[in-house]
Amino acid sequence: MTALRAPHEPRLHRPDSAPVIPVRRRAIWHQRLIDAEGGLRVGFRENSTIHVHLFVATIFLATGAVLSLTAIEWILMFSALAITIAAELFNLSIQTLADELRADNPAASRKVRRLSIAATMTVVLVAVLMAGGIITRQLWLLFS
């Protein structure tokens, strides 16, 4: 019994009596979820800054729970956290590519790294200002 194969596929070295096991492909959406989870795992393992963001976000969110934020304020707080983590993951991916570029063109690699860090810091600064503004407003309303 020979395995069915397309004419352009190389012949695998296995005995003719070996059973052909069909490969079941995942749905595209399922594979994307698996890839996203893998990317988050890599990001959390390789970028300790994300842990700092989560720690600070925990403080902001706990303060928000005590101050009874409105639904819109909660949406803004979680959006700030999500955008910050996404920016850090983009930064990590760009820096990984810049590391590959370093051997060929160190000046370009350094420029890419600096731009990536500047973009991430801009996002983080805006997120902190947004969350800080929400908390400050609630504290102002509480004590005035």
Full pLDDT tens readout for the chain, 144 residues = 555 555 565 555 556 666 767 767 888 998 899 999 999 999 999 988 999 999 999 999 999 999 999 999 999 999 999 999 999 999 999 999 999 888 888 999 999 999 999 999 999 999 999 999 999 999 999 998
Domain residue spans of the chain: 48-143
Contact 77, 60 (CB under 8 A): yes
